[in-house]
Amino acid sequence: MKLTIQEVAEKAGVGVGTVSRVLNNHKSVRPETRERVQAAMFEMGFVPNPHARRVAGGKSYTVSIILQVIGTEFYLRLLNGLEKTLEAHRYDSALFPLIGRERIERYLNSSTLAYQSDGIVMATHNLGELYPDGKLPTRQPVVIVDGMNLNYDSVYLDNRFGGELAARALSGFDGQMYAISVHQDIDEVFAKTVFDERIEGFKAALEEAGKPLLESHVSTVSFNLDNARIAAREILENTTMPVNIFAAADLVALGVLEEAARLNLEVGRDVRVIGFDDHPWSAERGLTSVHQPVEAMGAAAAELLVDRLSGYDGAPRKVRFEPRLVERASTLHPGD
């Protein structure tokens, strides 16, 4: 026989409304009461009916996540942080990838399915930029992650500072300075990308160190390993060693490491390279990288959205994460 919340309420010695608030993770429930209700549910084997929650609360208990691509390691890690936190608050997530300009046009329409959920998390690219008032065509709460917008709660990394960290590390070495940025077709729609910010910080810090970066020493590649190898080859085959390279993403830095190996150049002495992301595999490859806490950023964005969904109606909040440099063999010669 299917159990009801009335039976759970009776078992826990609380009202039906209290059980409902526990099921919906409402913050007004005292911790000891929440524990008593959850213990009663566990003891009775009570399984909530998601459909009943939707009907009773007028909510879908679904969050739309709009992001550029799904297959990259960065977004997989970001989704991991987002979904774990949303699931803990009993929200499902629906993914809406930005895979081209046609899809962007679709999301500019207020009737699109992405805006039918309870709330929206938008990663990296803020479609609100494409409206005169900077806001999306929805009344649902919106949180920006891996980006910043004055109109919405935002969780972001200080990418410019990350570029500065890379420049300070490389500026102490002899040799020419190079930078490899990343650009994708979708980026052309938006004013600035995180990769732009990283390169800007790198340039500014090198200028401050008295080693300005030549514009001819900045190249841009699409986000794939083959193009990263081509850009690295162009640098390494036409430059006197030693050379110092800042790659705006770990994947690009990997292309530099692989080309250096192909040319029998010693990483850390002939070629010094710094990536950006500090993905788990970076340690295995000995790659110095600017670390960003991707999963923590996702979790923080989810918590901000849950706050909104629970009734918070304050001014937009900004959560800044600060990167740090993790030094490894790609900038540390064995004899140093």
d(CA 202, CA 179): 8
Q: What is the pLDDT of residue 224?
A: 87
- pTM, full prediction: 0.79
Q: What is the pLDDT of residue 111?
A: 63
d(CA 287, CA 254): 8
Q: Could you tell me where in the chain the CATH 3.40.50.2300 domains are found?
A: 62-157+294-321, 159-291+324-331
Domain 62-157+294-321 falls under CATH 3.40.50.2300: yes
Q: What is the pLDDT of residue 83?
A: 92
210: left (phi over 0), alpha (psi -120 to 50) or beta: left
Q: What is the pLDDT of residue 113?
A: 75
- Our measurement of the distance from residue 41's CA atom to the centroid of its chain's CA atoms, rounded to an integer in Å, reads 35
Q: Could you tell me where in the chain the CATH 1.10.260.40 domains are found?
A: 5-57
The pLDDT tens digits for 174-187 are: 999 999 998 765 55
Q: What is the pLDDT of residue 45?
A: 75
89-27-151 Cα angle (round to 5): 75
Q: What is the pLDDT of residue 132?
A: 63
- As a CATH number, domain 159-291+324-331 is 3.40.50.2300
Q: What is the pLDDT of residue 39?
A: 82
CATH topology of domain 5-57: 434 Repressor (Amino-terminal Domain) (1.10.260)
Amino acid of residue 104: I
Low-confidence ranges of the chain (pLDDT < 70): 1-3, 16-17, 20, 24-28, 47-58, 69-71, 99-111, 126-133, 184-192, 333-336
Q: What is the pLDDT of residue 189?
A: 45
Q: What is the pLDDT of residue 335?
A: 47
Backbone angles phi, psi at 291, to 5 degrees: -80, 135
129-131-133 Cα angle (round to 5): 95
